[in-house]
Amino acid sequence: MKAQPEVRPEPTWPATLAILVILILQLTLLHRLTVGPNWLEPVLEVLILIPVTVRAPLRLRLRDEAGERRGLAIALLALINAANLVSLALLVRSLLAGSKASGVALIYDALKLWLTNIIVFGLWFWELDRGGLAARSQDVDLPPDFAFPQTITPGLAGPGWRPSFLDYLYVSFTNATAFSPTDTMPLSPWAKTLMAVEALISLLTIALVAARAVNILP
């Protein structure tokens, strides 16, 4: 009989906390940067987040990870990503149309969108790397999508080291600030695509929105 893979649970509370931070950032955006009231998108996201969080321990089972629970998690990230892109598009349109908002308010809005971009792509990396949370917890032999220094250089970490959510969030932060990989390299096509999209969004936010906001400071 084939031995069952060892299960090494990976905590999900850091990812849940990160999503709650996103909800706060969304709630504090100006109304002109949201479709409908500013509470609508966070409410929809909470409705998806609750079942994902409650059933999180069951996601250690591969059959559950490949089914409804993982589908809900991916749908939640897609919704957050789409909402952030819409808000960024509305902010850019507002700038091009000659917004009457103060430069300080525009900087704060751009910063909130930039931080949301970092968090949501960190969640994408964490959710999809090596087949997902359950596959990593059971040490399923799948090729990695990211080459972390600890996995390619012996002696940098102890045996059995695995990246945590904080590691993926750091990858997202460095990609959003350097507009390119730093110490961790993307290996798979989807990882390279996501990193390219994140860098492009970050570049647009910083170079266009933040620069324009500084120019109109009183």
Could you state, in order of their start, the residue ranges of all structural domains in the chain? 13-215
Q: Model confidence over 31-71: pLDDT tens digits?
A: 677 777 777 888 888 888 877 776 555 445 544 544 567 78
Query: What is the pLDDT, as a whole number, of residue 1?
Result: 42
pTM: 0.86
Query: What is the pLDDT, as a whole number, of residue 2?
Result: 44
Rounded CA gap, 137 and 16, in Å? Answer: 18
Residues ≥6 apart with Cβ < 8 Å to 137: 7, 8, 9, 10, 60
Asked if 62 and 136 count as a contact pair (C-beta separation under 8 A), the reply is: no
Say which range, 38-42, 80-84, 88-92, 189-193, has the weakest mean pLDDT.
38-42
Q: Model confidence over 77-86: pLDDT tens digits?
A: 999 999 999 9
Rounded CA gap, 34 and 188, in Å? Answer: 33
Query: What is the pLDDT, as a whole number, of residue 171?
Result: 96
Rounded CA gap, 27 and 135, in Å? Answer: 34
Q: Model confidence over 142-152: pLDDT tens digits?
A: 788 899 988 88
